[in-house]
Amino acid sequence: LRIAWSNFVRAFGPINTTVVSTTEDPETGEVRETHRRPNLQPFLDDPDCWLVASIEDYDLESDTAKPGPIFTERVIAPPAPPVITSAAD
C-alpha cells in the first residue's frame, strides 16, 4: 500500500489535493471560496470515497501529505468476542 500511495503522490500529488478558488460577486462584493479535490473527484459518488481519503494526512496550507495511521498501526479493531449468558444466545 505504501508503494502504491507513494507512486500515486509522485505522479498526481496527494490524494486530498485541494484547489481553492475565490470569486467575487460584482454586484454585492460577496467573496465565495470553493474547494475542488481533483484526485478524489472520480470517487465522490462512492459512499466509501472518504475511506480512500483517510489513508493520508493532508495539509491544505502547504499542499503536502504524509502517510496516515493505516501505514503504522491497526486502525480497525478486531470484532469483540460474543457474550453468551444463556442458551438462547
Residue 49 — very low, low, confident or very high, per pLDDT cuts 50/70/90?
Answer: very high
pTM value surpassing 0.95: no
pLDDT of residue 88: 85
38 pLDDT band (50/70/90 cuts)? Answer: very high
3-state SS class at 13: coil
CB atoms within 10 A of CB 48: 8
Q: Where in the chain are the domains?
A: 2-21+31-70
**Can you spell out the DSSP letters for 25-37?**
-TTT--EEEEEE-
pLDDT digits (tens, 9 = 90+) for 52-81: 999 999 999 999 999 999 999 998 888 999
